[in-house]
Chains A and B, each alone.
Chain A
Amino acid sequence: MRIGLVALALYVVYACSVLDITWGRFVLGLGHGARFVSRMLPPNFAPDKLELLYGGMIESLQIAIIATAVGVLLSLPLGLAAARNLVPLPLAWAVRALIALFRTFHPVIVAILFVKAVGFGALAGMLALVVASLGFLSKLIADAVEEMSMQPVEAVRATGAPFLSLVIMGVLPQVMARFIGFSGYQLDSNLRNSALVGLVGGGGIGATLFTAFQRFDYDFVLTIVLAIIAIVMIGEIVSGWMRRLFQ
């Protein structure tokens, strides 16, 4: 334990020296930071800027909502196909591997790939967030299905129900409330990430923010940041409200 702590401390010192992280640079950075913050104030609410902000925000919202909707729609069958108590094991494992792949990379990295694949703009950002939603929702659904009670499923199976009817009447009622809760979280998370994917070319408010940085419009940057905070908070309230409604 003690040896480990000493080794860790030594390594931190070594890494700082390699990366040229020094106290002097930090103090210098504080000065830059103060100047940066002072240039952000007051936030810029000029009508032409607000128009830009509005356009970017709407696009981000659309990206987030479309990505959530598509993700929810696709993750349900995917999650069911990954549940080991419902489908043959080889299929469940194959689908679980696919879901793990979706979850491997941060949405920003996936967004970079999609920007290269389909070009700059909202489509790339939307696709990146669909992948993120699939990774999150499918896994949670699969886990929820594996935790459900098999007794009603057995009873419905005993009535001679075809597989899809079994899922509709025996499985979904058991997991639907949780699924709606997960979807609320995902909408919340897609709202945040829709700003991120824009930074790497995925459209929306992130693109507006990136441009504002490039042009040193720091007062407009603050406006955008405030707007993003507002949207994220609203998203949190809405998703919490959704969860309560479907409890």
Chain B
Amino acid sequence: MDASRPVTPAAAEVDRSLLIRGLRKEYRTGQPVLRDISLTVAGHGMTAIIGPSGTGKSTLIRCINRLVDPTAGEIHFRGQDLARLQGRALRAARRRIGMVFQEYNLVERLSVIENVLCGRLGYVAVWRAWLRKFPPQDIDRAFQLLDAVGLADLATQRADQLSGGQRQRVGIARALMQEPDLVLADEPTSSLDPKTSVEIMELIARHAGERDIPAIVNIHNVGLARRFADRIIGMSKGAIVFDGAPQALQDSHLLQIYGGEGWLE
């Protein structure tokens, strides 16, 4: 296996668009969380998915990298149907999809730099992980990424000593370490204060933009979605009820997405 060699695609030629067709997920039979979602996401730019809790946003995003197995439907990305992949092929597809989590999901007892290097685990052999002998170019890149997210000084700190915002920066560096063709973010700012939330969204937008890769971000905060996304998708009860540019999102749409009225005042 050429696993230890970082794969560097010819960026301009790769088609990174995502095509979802008839995606359905039922955790319990007969109770779909996702109701036959069909969606095309362009190969660049940030797409924000908004909607109330429990509406299937998280399930949708987790179906894409198969942390959740869809019940039915197709997810086409880079010439493959992700919904059908198994074993080695699934792992190979996953390593090109970076993911950022609401609770950061760092390995608390590992150092910051080790957490970033986790992003290479899909590429490097098992013995390298065991001996912590990552290829030198990976280590160099990990330090560069830490620098890029503003944590250069904290490389050897244990992850459990960081603040929430710092942890999320590590999470972003780990995702970028995968050299992803797609970034998924599941409520990346929901556990953070408003100022840090803006910084984290800026970071995701900037790095996805620099690499010209698409980012799909689940987010509660409509203001942040409007500010950073190129496209907003509104979900309600497992279905898409709004799909358009941020400017097109009106209060009437928000009422439809979230229901109720009083909260808009």
Contact = CB atoms under 8 A, between A and B. Distances in A.
Interface of A: 149, 151-152, 154-162, 164-166, 168-170, 173-174, 176-177
Dominant SS at the A interface?
helix
Nearest 7 interchain pairs by C-beta: A160-B122, A160-B95, A161-B121, A160-B94, A155-B105, A151-B105, A173-B109
A154 B67 CA distance: 7
Interface of B: 65, 67, 90-99, 101, 103, 105-110, 114, 118-122, 124, 126, 129-130, 171, 174, 178
Given A154-B67, A155-B99, A169-B110, A161 B122 contact: yes
B92 A160 contact: yes
A159 B106 contact: no
A216 B191 CA distance: 73
Interface centre among B67, B94, B110, B121 (most CB of A within 10 A): B121
B105 A152 contact: yes
Interface centre among B96, B119, B178 (most CB of A within 10 A): B119
Contacts of A162: 91, 121-122, 126
Contacts of B178: 159-160
Given A159-B95, A176-B109, 18 more contacts: A152-B107, A155-B99, A155-B101, A156-B118, A159-B118, A159-B120, A159-B174, A160-B95, A160-B97, A161-B121, A161-B122, A162-B122, A162-B126, A168-B126, A169-B110, A169-B114, A170-B118, A177-B109
A173 B117 CA distance: 14
A161 B114 contact: no
A160 B118 contact: no
B114 to A, nearest CB: 7
Contact of A168 (B97, B105, B130): B130
Contacts of B171: 155
Contacts of B92: 160
Interface centre among A154, A157, A159 (most CB of B within 10 A): A159
B118 A154 contact: no
A192 to B, nearest CB: 32
A177 B108 CA distance: 13
Contact of B107 (A158, A165, A174): A174
